[in-house]
Structure 1
Amino acid sequence: MNQRYYSLDVFRGATVALMILVNNPGSWEHVFAPLEHAPWHGCTPTDLVFPFFLFAVGNAMAFVIPRFKTAGTAVFLQKVLKRTILIFAIGLFLNWSPFIMWQQNMLVPKTWLWTDAEGLPHGIRILGVLQRIALCYCFALLLVYFLSPKKAAIAGALLLLCYWVLCYYLGNATDPYSLAGYFGTGIDKAILGDVHMYHGEGLAFDPEGLGSLLPAIVQVMIGFFVGSYIIKQGKTAIMLKQLFIAGMVLFVVGLVWSLAFPLNKKIWTSSYVLYTSGLAITILGLLIYMIEFKQLTGKLTRFFDVFGKNPLFIFVLSGFLPRVLGLIRINNGITLSGQPQYLSPFGWFYQHICKNISADLRVGSLAYAICMISFYWLIVYLLDRKKIYIRV
């Protein structure tokens, strides 16, 4: 590869930055609508961030596949398996961290299974964002490595269609695409167990579950196909034109498909894959035009670029640090029930600084998120200045 695409670095860095931004509001109860996920069906700007990152993972794969093929299949399999296990393990580590917790005013070990003060069972969540990235990376890379481009594209289309069929025929007949009717929850419960699943919806349901892994793999494959096409065509007007056409086609097909198979991030519907991939291609095309063709670079592109140079490290740190600081309890007075109220250092910063910025609590919540993204940017900026890049 003789040509470097700075636009791809900026695209990847922007997705990491936005992932950190939407995951770190001052208060989950006070968030502007565009920074919230859709309650169920639908797609907000926040719902674009994770699929865009998987798309970017596929872009990066296009640059390493030639080296893998030169090294040979045995080396390829060894490296892919090692990286998959490592990223999955880091995700599990993040879910388990910081390995101790407050329980009845005492710090106790956070074990694989435990019961709370009311005797209810809990467990470490097995799946998550990094685990999905690991599995999608693994299976997508295997498909594009061992299959020809045409056969890989057919396999991707079949995965999307098969997932639709599975959702429709194995889900609840009255509403197969609902939270209660989704077929994948039964699979996750059987394999993972209720206590090791996500409970943010009020019941055991995992938005990064095993069932919805199938279409998410295709998201990475689409990123790979786009990256391969960009490499092959080079920085030409034809390449850019074809990107915009492909982006619009996928966007429209996804939108039309959503009339029968609704856009839904939480069960990662096939229409959602095409819709978000179409938008990702279009935005990437715009970045290529502005950065590669018009040379419009500056402070904004530099801001995002440094996130893309240490993406996994800074994402993990943004999840790990609040958990560790959560062990530090700052007394914030007595609640109406007569119990002491404690805040973490980050929580204190929001409550006593950011929350007071405006009567509209969403403003303070956003200000806190911006402070967090600025804090993490400073870390990756300093790492970049010292040429420290933490790879997996």
Structure 2
Amino acid sequence: MKKRIESVDVLRGFTIALMILVNTPGTWSNVYTPLLHADWHGLTPTDLIFPFFLFIVGISIYFAYKNKNNDLSTYKKVATRSLKLIGLGLFLNIFLPYLPFVNDFVTLRFPGVLQRIGIVFFISSVLYLNFKWKTLLGIGIIILIGYWLILGFLPFSDGTLPSFNRVANNWSNYIDLKILGNHMWQADYDPEGLFSTLPSIVTCLSGILIGRLLDNLKEIKYLFLTAVVLLASGYIFDIWFPINKAIWSSSFVLATSGWATLILAVIYYLRDIKQLKFGNIFKYIGMNAITIYFLSSFISKSMYLIKVGENNNIHNYLYETIFVQSFLSNNLSSLLYGLSVVLFYIGLGYFMYKKKIFIKV
């Protein structure tokens, strides 16, 4: 884009800030419920964060490649970026607290947030480079309906009927377990598993389509109307296919894309139309989103590794010394620690922005 859409940068940065906040509480024993994922079915504010980022990846794909030639050099750039994201994600999985670089390969987790972003980015970019928007819309609808039919109605080889619950006869978990085995987050499922990556591609495609709408937007009401349609579709579909982040259900795709579109519409109206200068603190992070997310994960893991005394580490020492106070509740102390971490990365984002340091992964 010759002229950046400010609201996209603000939403991207806001999403990364929330991602850091929910990933770095003072202690996982004391966290406010909205800052936790739903146990299984359902939708919390925390469940919106990852789909929001994939949605924004889709918008970025639209503007980055709308004028690109469909040639080998473009595919090389797409593949290179995808491999970098997957590599960074695997690096974070290897670099586990208390076991740096010596994690047993037998139980090494293969999936992860950055890995899914890399895979989704690659597939979505290739689709965008080869198909018109109507075809992309059709592909998205077919994936969502097909995913629902498989998880809800396709019986297993022994005749057992499938389920949407967290059990062995859930197709998403079953396929991941067969392919990944011990290389998952939990023994029975992985929230960034292989099969659930399929509908997450549609989340990215929805961002591509919204990017096209933004590029040709004549009236803001169409953006709000699209959000309403997506939200209504998601919550109605929830009746038959429960909203669920862990398996990235089709209703989850529609509902979260709806929320992302609605919040983007509000920010777009205030920032790009009314020219109100708010949200710059998030824009600073948004300009180096992947870099700051990776650093936050790496530094957070490192703080568990560096010992303070015999039985403590930097994370616990800072949390217990500064934030655990008698006049604060345990949940509030934990939240304040997370907010301080977010402020640190906002400061880092501001420094990088002012120094014109923009790292493209």
TM-score bucket of the superposed structures, by smaller chain = over 0.9
Partner Cα distance (1:171, 1:41) in 2? 21
AA aligned opposite 2:171 = F
**Pair 1:226-2:210 in alignment:** yes
CA contact (8 A) 1:128 1:208 kept: yes
> In the alignment, which residue of structure 2 is the partner of 1:305?
283
Correspondence for 1:318 among 265, 285, 296? 296
CA contact (8 A) 2:185 2:191 kept: yes
> In the alignment, which residue of structure 1 is the partner of 2:148?
164
Partner Cα distance (1:346, 1:67) in 2? 46
AA aligned opposite 1:249 = V
Please say which of residues 343-352 and 46-55 is displaced more in the overlay.
343-352
CA contact (8 A) 2:15 2:52 kept: yes
Correspondence for 2:268 among 288, 293, 300? 288
* TM-score normalised by length of structure 1: 0.87
Partner Cα distance (1:323, 1:30) in 2? 19
Correspondence for 2:197 among 205, 213, 223? 213
Structure 1: which 5+ residue stretches go unaligned?
A: 103-107, 114-121, 332-339
AA aligned opposite 2:246 = K
AA aligned opposite 2:250 = S
Question: What does the per-residue CA deviation read over 1:293-321, in whole Å, with 9 as the maximum and x for residues that have no partner?
Answer: 212113xx111001101101110111101
Correspondence for 1:97 among 72, 95, 98? 95
User: SS at 2:125's partner residue?
Assistant: helix
AA aligned opposite 2:283 = D
CA contact (8 A) 2:24 2:300 kept: no
User: SS at 2:29's partner residue?
Assistant: coil
> In the alignment, which residue of structure 2 is the partner of 1:25?
25
**Pair 1:146-2:130 in alignment:** yes
> In the alignment, which residue of structure 2 is the partner of 1:368?
337
* TM-score normalised by length of structure 2: 0.94
CA contact (8 A) 1:101 1:110 kept: no
> In the alignment, which residue of structure 1 is the partner of 2:82?
84
User: SS at 1:366's partner residue?
Assistant: helix
Spell out the pairing of 1:1-392 with structure 2 (5 A cutoff): 1-69=1-69, 72-97=70-95, 101=98, 110-113=102-105, 123-170=107-154, 176-180=163-167, 181-194=169-182, 196-199=183-186, 203-233=187-217, 236=218, 238=219, 240-298=220-278, 301-331=279-309, 342-356=311-325, 358-392=327-361
Give the Å deviation of 1:330: 1.9
Which structure would you say has the larger Rg? 1
Partner Cα distance (1:25, 1:280) in 2? 24
Give the Å deviation of 1:177: 0.7
Give the Å deviation of 1:193: 2.1
Structure 2: which 5+ residue stretches go unaligned?
A: none
Runs of 4+ in 1 over 6 A off after TM superposition: none
Partner Cα distance (2:76, 2:271) in 1? 36
Partner Cα distance (1:360, 1:287) in 2? 33
Partner Cα distance (1:188, 1:267) in 2? 11
Count of paired positions: 357
Please say which of residues 177-186 and 79-88 is displaced more in the overlay.
177-186
